[in-house]
Every structure is written in C-alpha cells, then in structure tokens.
Chain A
Amino acid sequence: MMVTERRPILLANGRILDPSRDLDIHGDLLLADGVIREAKRGIGAAGVPEGTEVIDCKGKVVVPGLIDMRAFVGEPGAEYRETIASASQAAAAGGVTTIVCQPDTSPVIDDPAIVDFVLRRARDTSIVHVQPMAALTKGLRGDEMSEIGLLKAAGAIAFTQGAKSVTNAQVMRRALTYARDFDALIVHHTEDPDIVGEGVMNEGEFAARLGLVGVPTAAETIMLERDMRLVALTESRYHAASLTCAEALEVLRRAKEQGLQVTASASINHLTLNEIDVGPYRTFLKVSPPLRAEGDRTALVAALASGLIDVVMSDHNPQDVEGKRLPFAEASAGAIGLETMLTAGLRLVHSAELPLMTLIKAMSSRPAEILGLAGGTLRQGSPADVIVIDLDSPWVLDPAELKSKCKNTPFDEARLEGRVVRTIVAGRTVYEYV
C-alpha cells in the first residue's frame, strides 16, 4: 500500500550522511514527487515549494533508508510467523525501507508465478519496498538449478539456497556458470551440514560446559573455501550470505585480493553478540550459524570497519513462542531483527568500534550497489527512501511493543541507545516515533 507522496518534505537542520558518496554535512534534505531533490545547507532559507512539510531534524541524523539483505517473511505458507504486512511494519519501525526476503517459504519461491505473488502481496500490503530472492535450486532441494533466467525476468533480485548450502559442488559449479550468463547474483549460505550435524551452538569450552553439541567454525570456512575455488573456476559473481568467524574472513580476504567478484554479509547478531550471551540456555540467542566467540565477533567488526565485510543484514527470522519454549537443543533457531538492526548496530558506533558512516553504508549503499537497486543513496533523483535517526536517546526494548508477529528478540529488555524517529518511503512518512 505504498503511495508516492506528491507533497514535498524538507528535512531541515540535520546531519546529512550519504554513504554512497561519503557525504557528511549539516544541512537540509528536500524530497518531492517521490524522489530526492537536493541535499545541502540552506535549502530552507532559500525558500521551498508551497505546501512543503518542514520537519526539524536538529540534533538528528538523516541517512538513506536501510536495505536489509536477509529477512524471512512468512508469505506464502508461514503467515502465523510473519506476513509481508507485519514485516513491513517492523521494518519501517527499524528504518528498513527495503526488505530483501528469503525464498524458503512454502511453497518455495522457485517459480515465476510465486515471485509474482510476493510482488503483488507487497504492492497491496507492504508499507516498504520488498525485493524477493528466488531459490537457486528447485524446491531448495539442492540438486537441480531453478529457472534462473525466467525468475530474474519475473523480478527475483538474487538467488539463494536460503539458510542452507548447496552441498553438491557440481550443482553449485553449474549454477554459478549458468547464473553468470544472466548476470544473476548468487547469495550463498556457507555451512557444511554434515560437519554441523546436531550442533546447536559454537563449538568450544562454553558449549562443552553447557553440555550442548557444538558447531566448529570449520563448517563455515570449508564451505566458503570450496565456493571461492568455484567462483575462481567459473569467473562468476558471488555474495557470502552470513559470515561469522575470523577463519572465514581470512578466506574472504584472500579471495578479494585475488580479484574475485566476491562480497559478503554479516548479521547484526554476530556483530553485537557472542556465545556467552546464550547464558543460561536462552533460546532467543539460538541462531544459525551460532553466535561465536568474542574473538570472532571483534574480528567481524574489524572486517566491517575495513570494508572486508560489505553488508550488515538483520537475518530476521521470526519464530513463534512454542518453538522457542523448549530445551535449547530442541528449540528453533532464529531471531527477529528488522526493527532492532539499526539500534543494535549503533552500539558499535557508541563504543567507537565503528564509524557511523561505515555502519550506514553497510546497511544501505553497499546492499544497493551489490543488488543493483536504486536506493541506498541521497543523490538527486534517487528514490525518496530516507530515515531520521536520533543517535542518543536511551530506551529499553519492550518486546510487546515490537511490530513483528513474533517476539523472539535477542535484545529482550536490553538497554539501547539511539533509534529511528522517522521513516520515509517513496516520499511519504510511514513511521514516526513520538
């Protein structure tokens, strides 16, 4: 239900940050007819069109709307966990103006008709943009590649095996080769399922003390290394869906140094939490891949700071209460994140681990560049998808206030600093914090 707002908006007196061109100025941002008109000082003083809504952003930061590269939305098939509508509400409250959703729905998004369904549902019920990813293999079974050409033509933004890996290297090789002809991007989750086995948290002392089966970082590293060799062989483009450990970062570094067309995401969970946060078997901290050791977390943050990690995503994975109210090993994995991704990320900024520009870049301009989307920028003529952030306001997360249908947040009752105060999509305010 996105309506392009014709009435101009002037976001005045704010700190304007545009990571697409490393712009960091104090000034005004003018939006009209669904696009960005100008970003500079003194637009307000010079005079604005009649009927312009002027919003004072003093003390606030104005940045491009966030593009979340990995969110599970329950339509079709799991509407009880989340719908496109509820996900879009959560997204807007979290400053996410484009949701890139996963294809492991029911049915799987492996048919142009289903891509079309998702796009229609989004058009009718979502207050933010939705870009569906399609399944890389039919039914996500990992043996036959899907109709990559026709799916892309129908609107699929990229191709993925969801939260799993394609284990057959020959299938992966052929998929990379075939996708290259269509300039289709493959976003691959890197975890060897055989090594993972029954594992439910990071392998190490903590898991051993809790009596839980561990997942070694090698499960991720081995799959990533295999993929890097295949990318070199096929000269294709590739995006690692969710990296979590220092070992894998080394593989990524070497691949980039070799000149391979490789980029990578890290989830906000792995950047801000570690295995210790699981504490007394807290299932809201059970995610896949699991939260790692502190050393891996800091390596991941450093990699984000240096640009080795390109994108931060929420890995939004709504799980209902029944699935989480179980012993840790039996509980479902996943945490929601659309609404909290930015706020959690601000922790890294406040602790000086990361500049604000870098964080916003990884959540907006870089995803836009990698996916070939028009957003993630405040350049003139770009879509008017903009958010206003209050960097400092302290608040405590109350899960009941969250807009997602499921409340499985790792930041349950966490003390947070900073939040989105306004979200604008296509030039219209879709969320406002009052």
Chain B
Amino acid sequence: MNIAQKSTFVLNQRHLLGIEGLSPAEISGLLDLAEEFVALNRQIEKKQSSLRGRTLINLFFEVSTRTQASFELAGKRLGADVMNMSVGSSSMRKGETLIDTAITLNAMRPDIIVVRHHASGAVELLARKVDCSVINAGDGSHEHPTQALLDALTIRRNKGRIERLTVAICGDILHSRVARSNIILLNALGARVRVVAPSTLLPVGIERFGVEVTRDMREGLRDADIVMMLRLQRERMNGSFVPSTQEYFHYFGLDQKKLAYAKPDALVMHPGPMNRGVEIDTAVADGAQSLIREQVEMGVAVRMAVLEAMSRTLPNA
C-alpha cells in the first residue's frame, strides 16, 4: 500500500558519491522527500513497494552497525531484496580485491550497491567498475553524504530552516568524512559554518572550505544554533594528535559549561557512536538540548528518500 506521495523528486545522477555535485535544489528535494518517509516510519504499516523486485547490496568494508542497519531497513521498507556483505579488511588485499569484488557482484546484476570503505576514493573507484547505482556510505576521510543529509533534515525539522543558522562542528575535523560532507551541504544551503578543533586535528587548507576556524571552544560556540560534536578515535588520543583524553575533554569536550557559550536554545548533535567523557559528557548527550536520538530516526527516512529518488531513474523503472 503506497502512501500518496507528494514529492516527485528524481535524482538525476546514477550514483550518490558525495554532497559535492548536488545542487541546493537537489539537496532540498531529497530532504522534502525524506520528510514523507519520517511520517511513514511512524505508522504501523511501513511497507512500500517502490523497490519491489529490486536488489540492494550493502557492501561494507568497514564495520558499521548503525549505518548498515539503517540502509537495510530503508531498503526492506521500500520492498527491495537486501543482501548484507561485511568484508573484513584482513581477508582483503587493498585495491585489487576491491575491484574484483565489484566485478563479481556486478555480474549478479544488483540495482543498487551501498558501499562503505576505509580508503578515501575507494567508493568512486568501485562505482566506475559496475553497471548499477552506487551510494557512498562513507569512504575514508572523504564523504558520508547520507549522514550530512540526515543531519540537515534534523536541523531543519528543529529550527525550521538551515540558512543563516550558525553551526559549530567540533572535534577531529582532519579525519572526519562527516565534517566534510556537512560543511559542503550546510554551506550550499546558506548556513554559517564554524569548525573548532586543536590545530593538530584541522586539515591544512581548511580555511578555504568556506568555514570560520577557531581553536577555542568559547569563541567557536558563541551564538551557535547547532553544536555538532565529532567522535575522537582512541588512536588519536594517545599523544599523536592530542596528548590525552583529560586534556582533550578539558579544552574541547562538550559539557554544560561549554554548551552555555552557545545560544540558550542551541541544540546538540553527534553522528555516533559517542565516546562519553571524551568529546561529550553524559549530561549533555542525554540532556534536553540533545538531538542525537532523533538523528538516528532521520537516518532511516533519509536513506529511504535517497533509494526512492534513485530508483525513479533506474533502468526499467
């Protein structure tokens, strides 16, 4: 039983490899379509049939429970046949086996492959070798387009708009694909983006991404409408990029005191999974200003929207 869908949005490209290359209209179109799926997902009867008969493969070279589950649910709710493939990196020699895997899967004629890989650019490489559509679920430090879309949807639903909002993205910008996709998307929709991190976690050249850059949380959170915290991986904490978790949390971790530097009605986001006590403290993560749970809910809706929008241009659609 199909919900009467108001949006007729179509994604006019074969792949979704990144936010880069999407026009503001296309971004808004995806968000509008996702809104419809939010409503659908809150019904008892969630099943749609727009992807019935289609094959969706989740090809995850990097472990991920939430993104993979999110895509699996999204595909199944649209009626697709979903197959999950988690490829351990130990069973793989880099590069060669990626393409072999792609060619092998391609021969089975899937309609859409969702790929996550630890190397930047790997998803694009794979996309060149297959005939079907490819969605990037995160490639190295490069892009994670559906995360940025779900973040945007979350912001839009809570603040009514994205343009002219001040969004502070805090944490390990250097290694973050979430940061990069968000910066591109938020700038495209007219937000004011600020990044806050110690210099060792900022990419050289970050100033040219069209963001304000600061190493100080007080300055970074001033007048912020949205505070987006990024996860700091354990490997970064041992003194290679930052000296210790204590020092990192003291200067850059989000607690009530630092959150008070932002606007009183500022909202807190985190792509997950969180390192409580490192980049964010429990009181804030679970507090009234936190949107973290809602982000996860928006994730399924956004992925359904992306699949739906792509499916409308699949061959034999």
Contacts and interface: CB of A to CB of B under 8 A. Distances in A.
A148 interface: yes
Contacts of B240: 144-145, 171, 174
The interface residues of chain B, by DSSP majority, are classed as loop
B200 A177 contact: yes
Nearest to B197: A181
Contact of A174 (B241, B246, B250, B251): B241
A143 B247 contact: no
B239 A143 contact: yes
Contact of A181 (B215, B238, B246, B250): B215
Nearest to A148: B243
A379 interface: no
Nearest to B241: A174
B142 to A, nearest CB: 22
A54 interface: no
B24 interface: no
Interface string A96-139: 00000000000000000000000000000000000000000110
A146 interface: yes
A147 B199 contact: no
A181 B243 contact: no
A147 B198 contact: no
B242 interface: yes
A78 interface: no
Contact of B247 (A147, A171, A180): A147
Contact of A149 (B199, B238, B239, B251): B251
A414 interface: no
Contacts of A148: 243, 247
Nearest to B247: A147
B251 A177 contact: no
B55 interface: no
Contacts of B199: 177-178, 180-181
B243 A147 contact: yes
Nearest to A180: B199
Interface string A168-186: 0001001001101100000
B41 interface: no
A149 B198 CA distance: 11
B244 interface: yes
A150 B246 contact: yes
Contacts of A147: 243-244, 246-247
Interface string A141-160: 00111111110000000000
A178 B250 contact: no
A137 B239 CA distance: 8
Given A180-B199, A181-B198, A144 B241 contact: no
Interface string B225-263: 000000000000011111110110011000000000000
Interface of A: 137-138, 143-150, 171, 174, 177-178, 180-181
10 contacts: A137-B239, A144-B240, A145-B239, A145-B243, A146-B239, A146-B243, A150-B250, A178-B198, A178-B241, A181-B198
Given A144-B243, A147-B247, A148-B247, 12 more contacts: A138-B239, A138-B243, A144-B239, A147-B246, A148-B243, A149-B251, A150-B247, A174-B240, A178-B199, A178-B200, A181-B198, A181-B199
